[in-house]
Amino acid sequence: MNNARISGIVCAVPDNKRTIAEVGEKYFDRAFIERIGNTVGTNTLYFTKENQSSGDLGIAAAKKLMEELDWEAESVGALIFNSQTADFVIPPTSVRIQHALGLSTDTFVADTNYGCMAFPIGLMMAYQMIALGQCGRIILIDAECHHKAVSRSDADTALFFGDAAAATAIEESPGAPRAAFKTFVDGEHVSEIFLKSFKDIPNEKNTLDDRVYMNGEAVTRYMFRQIPKFAADLLASCGCEMDDIDAVLMHQANAYMLKFLGKRMHIDPAKVLINIGHYGNTSSVSIPLLLVDELPGLFAGGRKKLMMIGFGAGFMIAGAIMEAGDLKGGQVIFV
């Protein structure tokens, strides 16, 4: 598609910073915590406060973004909110955000819960809506407070997940540089990462009941096999070679995993951006956080050809290749 572009991004994180040593000292020995820091790469996490939610973070990021863009609320035609830790089961959290941002009652709103692969999917949905002529300006919000859904004593999740939000502006731009999108799903593996609600999933390993369960080893093995093929297909669909890409932004699940995938896909290590040490695994927010945190040139007049790949529960993978630059925002605000 070549009818839309990203105009700006603002990220928000809670003003509550914790080291993984502080988080894990009651449950794990020092050697385990150090091993997580050295392999997964997590050093610090940001946790929402007691009455702070994913929606609160998303609202803060979106308000700042609209201010940076000088967008009037009436000009926004759609709002997409992605979260696996939404404020409510009923109603959609996007309804609350619409009101908080002062958007028109004609605004189309939608909640999704794609998780770690959601950012490329959200961009694809926004580009498609613009291509169909449904609206000219869209705000995409990704927000998570996974730490509230994680067992503090679970070695597979306790020291990984941090909370954050990102608001991304997408608007109509005829003749914009072409963007390509691709998705992949293999639903056979739903029992490897899940947080149940109304459906029990047979899994003898899961004893966490109302907390996130993740079989990290199974996820890693699967993604090692599938992501290189996925990336090759995405490049082919766009008529690109890996050498044409300026930066590769993959979901920040595990630093060792990202470096290994970069080698397997023959990517210059300097192009594989990693910031999991600062924020932990923030699910769908990790790619926009990379854009803001690791590519400041995008907000200072530069342009880059980007490959974005999100992957996780489902198992699902989603990717995008696009050229971006001259963006507004580029900030991480603390709330």
**68-92 residue pLDDT tens:** 999 999 999 999 999 999 999 899 9
Q: Which of 176-185, 198-207, 275-284 has the lowest mean pLDDT?
A: 198-207
Confidence grade of residue 140 (pLDDT, cut at 50, 70, 90): very high
Which of 40-44, 164-168, 194-198 is most confident?
164-168
Terminal-residue alpha carbon distance, the chain: 35
The fraction of the chain above a pLDDT of 90, given in percent, is: 81
Classify 133 as helix, strand or coil.
coil
Q: Hey, what domains does the chain have and what are their CATH numbers?
A: 4-172 (3.40.47.10), 180-327 (3.40.47.10)
β partners of residue 193 = 214
Q: Is the pLDDT of residue 275 over 60?
A: yes
- Cα(265)–Cα(226) distance, integer angstroms: 11
Q: CB–CB of 126/142 below 8 Å?
A: no
Q: Is 154 exposed, middle or buried (0-12, 13-18, 19+ CB in 10 A)?
A: middle
Q: Is the pLDDT of residue 202 over 70?
A: no
**pLDDT of amino acid 317:** 95
Q: Is the pLDDT of residue 111 over 90?
A: yes
The fraction of the chain above a pLDDT of 70, given in percent, is: 95
CA neighbor of 252 nearest in space, from 326, 312, 169, 176: 312
- Cα(94)–Cα(33) distance, integer angstroms: 37
Q: Is the pLDDT of residue 210 over 80?
A: no
**pLDDT of amino acid 203:** 62
